[in-house]
Chains A and B, each alone.
Chain A
Amino acid sequence: DTGVSQDPRHKITKRGQNVTFRCDPISEHNRLYWYRQTLGQGPEFLTYFQNEAQLEKSRLLSDRFSAERPKGSFSTLEIQRTEQGDSAMYLCASSHQWVGNTIYFGEGSWLTVV
Protein backbone atom coordinates (compact mmCIF):
# COMPACT_ATOMS: atom_id res chain seq x y z
CA ASP A 1 0.00 0.00 0.00
CA THR A 2 1.80 3.09 -1.24
CA GLY A 3 -0.60 5.70 0.08
CA VAL A 4 -2.32 8.50 -1.80
CA SER A 5 -0.10 9.77 -4.58
CA GLN A 6 -0.28 13.24 -6.10
CA ASP A 7 1.45 14.71 -9.11
CA PRO A 8 3.03 17.15 -9.65
CA ARG A 9 4.19 18.03 -6.17
CA HIS A 10 4.99 21.59 -7.15
CA LYS A 11 3.76 23.72 -10.02
CA ILE A 12 4.58 27.31 -10.87
CA THR A 13 2.43 28.80 -13.57
CA LYS A 14 1.72 32.16 -15.09
CA ARG A 15 -1.61 33.81 -14.47
CA GLY A 16 -4.11 32.79 -17.12
CA GLN A 17 -2.60 29.37 -17.79
CA ASN A 18 -4.39 26.10 -17.15
CA VAL A 19 -3.05 23.52 -14.72
CA THR A 20 -4.00 19.94 -14.00
CA PHE A 21 -3.27 17.87 -10.93
CA ARG A 22 -3.50 14.12 -10.69
CA CYS A 23 -4.38 11.99 -7.68
CA ASP A 24 -3.99 8.24 -7.35
CA PRO A 25 -5.89 7.05 -4.28
CA ILE A 26 -5.07 4.04 -2.18
CA SER A 27 -6.01 0.89 -4.03
CA GLU A 28 -9.66 -0.12 -3.58
CA HIS A 29 -10.59 3.16 -1.91
CA ASN A 30 -13.82 4.17 -3.59
CA ARG A 31 -14.13 7.57 -1.89
CA LEU A 32 -11.96 10.44 -3.10
CA TYR A 33 -11.82 14.03 -1.91
CA TRP A 34 -10.10 17.19 -3.08
CA TYR A 35 -9.26 19.94 -0.62
CA ARG A 36 -7.41 23.23 -0.88
CA GLN A 37 -5.24 24.67 1.86
CA THR A 38 -3.67 28.11 2.12
CA LEU A 39 -1.02 29.14 4.61
CA GLY A 40 -2.26 29.29 8.18
CA GLN A 41 -5.65 27.82 7.36
CA GLY A 42 -7.30 24.45 7.63
CA PRO A 43 -8.07 22.45 4.51
CA GLU A 44 -11.15 23.63 2.61
CA PHE A 45 -13.40 21.14 0.85
CA LEU A 46 -13.57 21.30 -2.94
CA THR A 47 -15.25 18.13 -4.16
CA TYR A 48 -16.07 14.50 -3.42
CA PHE A 49 -16.27 11.39 -5.59
CA GLN A 50 -17.77 8.05 -4.77
CA ASN A 51 -16.43 5.66 -7.38
CA GLU A 52 -16.69 7.64 -10.64
CA ALA A 53 -19.61 9.82 -9.55
CA GLN A 54 -18.97 13.36 -8.39
CA LEU A 55 -21.50 13.57 -5.58
CA GLU A 56 -20.66 16.88 -4.00
CA LYS A 57 -18.99 20.09 -5.07
CA SER A 58 -18.27 23.14 -2.96
CA ARG A 59 -20.24 26.26 -3.75
CA LEU A 60 -16.94 28.08 -3.40
CA LEU A 61 -15.63 26.30 -6.45
CA SER A 62 -15.81 28.58 -9.44
CA ASP A 63 -16.52 27.41 -12.96
CA ARG A 64 -12.78 27.51 -13.62
CA PHE A 65 -12.34 24.39 -11.50
CA SER A 66 -13.28 20.95 -12.74
CA ALA A 67 -12.57 17.49 -11.43
CA GLU A 68 -12.98 14.07 -12.93
CA ARG A 69 -12.61 10.48 -11.90
CA PRO A 70 -13.45 8.67 -15.10
CA LYS A 71 -12.95 5.05 -14.11
CA GLY A 72 -13.36 5.35 -10.39
CA SER A 73 -9.64 5.08 -9.81
CA PHE A 74 -7.37 8.12 -10.32
CA SER A 75 -8.75 11.64 -10.37
CA THR A 76 -7.73 14.92 -11.99
CA LEU A 77 -8.36 18.47 -10.86
CA GLU A 78 -8.06 21.13 -13.54
CA ILE A 79 -7.91 24.85 -12.95
CA GLN A 80 -8.49 27.00 -16.00
CA ARG A 81 -7.31 30.59 -16.42
CA THR A 82 -5.43 30.54 -13.14
CA GLU A 83 -5.47 33.58 -10.88
CA GLN A 84 -3.05 34.56 -8.14
CA GLY A 85 -5.71 33.70 -5.57
CA ASP A 86 -5.53 30.08 -6.71
CA SER A 87 -2.06 29.76 -5.16
CA ALA A 88 -2.43 27.07 -2.49
CA MET A 89 -1.75 23.45 -1.70
CA TYR A 90 -4.23 21.09 -3.32
CA LEU A 91 -4.76 17.99 -1.26
CA CYS A 92 -6.29 14.73 -2.37
CA ALA A 93 -7.61 12.20 0.13
CA SER A 94 -9.20 8.79 -0.10
CA SER A 95 -11.09 6.35 2.06
CA HIS A 96 -12.99 3.09 1.80
CA GLN A 97 -16.73 3.29 2.16
CA TRP A 98 -17.06 0.00 4.05
CA VAL A 99 -13.68 -0.69 5.60
CA GLY A 100 -12.45 1.56 8.38
CA ASN A 101 -13.18 5.23 8.88
CA THR A 102 -9.80 6.82 8.31
CA ILE A 103 -9.39 9.36 5.51
CA TYR A 104 -5.86 9.32 4.15
CA PHE A 105 -4.35 12.43 2.63
CA GLY A 106 -1.73 12.65 -0.07
CA GLU A 107 1.37 14.81 0.10
CA GLY A 108 -0.35 17.62 -1.75
CA SER A 109 0.34 19.61 -4.90
CA TRP A 110 1.68 23.11 -4.33
CA LEU A 111 0.50 25.67 -6.86
CA THR A 112 2.09 29.08 -7.25
CA VAL A 113 0.52 31.46 -9.75
CA VAL A 114 2.82 34.32 -10.77
Chain B
Amino acid sequence: ELKVEQNPLFLSMQEGKNYTIYCNYSTTSDRLYWYRQDPGKSLESLFVLLSNGAVKQEGRLMASLDTKARLSTLHITAAVHDLSATYFCAGKLTSGTYKYIFGTGTRLKVLA
Protein backbone atom coordinates (compact mmCIF):
# COMPACT_ATOMS: atom_id res chain seq x y z
CA GLU B 1 0.00 0.00 0.00
CA LEU B 2 1.07 3.55 -0.66
CA LYS B 3 2.57 5.35 2.29
CA VAL B 4 2.91 9.13 2.37
CA GLU B 5 5.24 10.89 4.77
CA GLN B 6 5.60 14.59 5.30
CA ASN B 7 8.30 16.53 7.04
CA PRO B 8 8.59 18.51 9.05
CA LEU B 9 5.45 17.86 11.07
CA PHE B 10 5.65 21.26 12.71
CA LEU B 11 7.19 24.39 11.32
CA SER B 12 7.47 27.76 12.97
CA MET B 13 8.95 30.47 10.83
CA GLN B 14 9.35 34.20 10.74
CA GLU B 15 7.54 36.37 8.25
CA GLY B 16 9.59 37.02 5.16
CA LYS B 17 11.53 33.75 5.33
CA ASN B 18 11.55 30.91 2.84
CA TYR B 19 11.01 27.27 3.62
CA THR B 20 10.18 23.93 2.02
CA ILE B 21 7.82 21.16 3.09
CA TYR B 22 8.67 17.68 1.84
CA CYS B 23 6.32 14.88 0.87
CA ASN B 24 7.79 11.43 0.28
CA TYR B 25 5.74 8.54 -0.97
CA SER B 26 6.59 4.87 -0.97
CA THR B 27 5.57 3.62 -4.38
CA THR B 28 4.38 4.84 -7.75
CA SER B 29 1.63 7.40 -7.50
CA ASP B 30 -0.12 8.71 -10.57
CA ARG B 31 -0.79 12.13 -9.09
CA LEU B 32 0.02 14.22 -6.08
CA TYR B 33 -2.26 16.73 -4.37
CA TRP B 34 -1.52 19.51 -1.94
CA TYR B 35 -4.22 20.81 0.39
CA ARG B 36 -4.43 23.51 3.02
CA GLN B 37 -6.55 23.17 6.15
CA ASP B 38 -7.30 25.91 8.67
CA PRO B 39 -8.23 24.87 12.23
CA GLY B 40 -11.71 23.37 12.37
CA LYS B 41 -12.19 23.82 8.66
CA SER B 42 -12.23 21.60 5.62
CA LEU B 43 -9.51 21.09 3.05
CA GLU B 44 -8.80 23.63 0.36
CA SER B 45 -7.19 22.34 -2.81
CA LEU B 46 -3.91 24.07 -3.64
CA PHE B 47 -2.23 22.07 -6.38
CA VAL B 48 -2.62 18.94 -8.47
CA LEU B 49 0.62 17.56 -9.91
CA LEU B 50 0.21 14.99 -12.64
CA SER B 51 3.60 14.29 -14.17
CA ASN B 52 7.29 14.11 -13.43
CA GLY B 53 8.84 17.55 -13.32
CA ALA B 54 5.49 19.30 -12.87
CA VAL B 55 5.79 22.67 -11.18
CA LYS B 56 2.87 24.87 -10.17
CA GLN B 57 2.85 28.23 -8.47
CA GLU B 58 0.19 30.29 -6.80
CA GLY B 59 1.20 33.40 -4.96
CA ARG B 60 3.89 32.58 -2.40
CA LEU B 61 3.47 28.83 -2.78
CA MET B 62 5.16 26.63 -5.36
CA ALA B 63 4.78 22.87 -5.64
CA SER B 64 6.88 20.43 -7.62
CA LEU B 65 6.90 16.72 -8.31
CA ASP B 66 9.79 14.32 -8.89
CA THR B 67 8.30 10.91 -9.60
CA LYS B 68 11.68 9.20 -9.85
CA ALA B 69 12.61 10.30 -6.36
CA ARG B 70 8.98 9.82 -5.19
CA LEU B 71 9.14 13.30 -3.76
CA SER B 72 6.99 16.39 -3.89
CA THR B 73 7.88 19.71 -2.36
CA LEU B 74 5.85 22.73 -1.33
CA HIS B 75 8.03 25.81 -1.24
CA ILE B 76 6.99 28.91 0.66
CA THR B 77 8.50 32.21 -0.42
CA ALA B 78 8.58 35.23 1.87
CA ALA B 79 6.06 33.78 4.30
CA VAL B 80 3.24 35.90 5.67
CA HIS B 81 1.04 35.27 8.71
CA ASP B 82 -1.96 34.35 6.52
CA LEU B 83 -0.13 31.22 5.38
CA SER B 84 -0.39 29.76 8.88
CA ALA B 85 -2.33 26.49 8.46
CA THR B 86 -1.81 22.75 8.16
CA TYR B 87 -0.67 21.53 4.76
CA PHE B 88 -1.34 18.01 3.52
CA CYS B 89 -0.07 16.11 0.54
CA ALA B 90 -1.96 13.12 -0.86
CA GLY B 91 -1.21 10.50 -3.46
CA LYS B 92 -2.89 7.52 -5.09
CA LEU B 93 -1.59 4.26 -6.48
CA THR B 94 -1.45 4.26 -10.25
CA SER B 95 -4.12 1.64 -10.75
CA GLY B 96 -6.59 -0.58 -8.99
CA THR B 97 -7.77 1.90 -6.42
CA TYR B 98 -9.53 5.23 -6.02
CA LYS B 99 -8.17 5.69 -2.51
CA TYR B 100 -6.13 8.80 -1.87
CA ILE B 101 -3.62 8.47 0.93
CA PHE B 102 -2.87 11.60 2.94
CA GLY B 103 0.24 12.45 4.86
CA THR B 104 -0.06 13.42 8.52
CA GLY B 105 0.26 17.07 7.64
CA THR B 106 2.69 19.88 8.32
CA ARG B 107 1.46 22.44 10.82
CA LEU B 108 2.87 25.79 9.76
CA LYS B 109 2.94 28.80 12.02
CA VAL B 110 4.22 32.06 10.60
CA LEU B 111 5.26 34.50 13.30
CA ALA B 112 4.70 38.20 12.68
Contacts and interface: CB of A to CB of B under 8 A. Distances in A.
Interface of A: 31, 33, 40-45, 48, 50, 55-56, 58, 91, 93, 101-108
- Interface pairs A-B: 5 shortest CB-CB: A42-B102, A48-B98, A105-B43, A45-B99, A101-B48
Contacts, number: 52
A102 B45 contact: yes
B25 interface: no
Interface residues of B, number: 22
Given A42-B104, A43-B90, A44-B102, 4 more contacts: A31-B98, A101-B31, A105-B43, A107-B41
Q: Binding site of B, secondary structure by majority: helix, strand, loop or mixed? A: strand
Contacts of B105: 40-42
Given A101-B48, A101-B50, A103-B33, A91 B99 contact: no
A108 B44 CA distance: 12
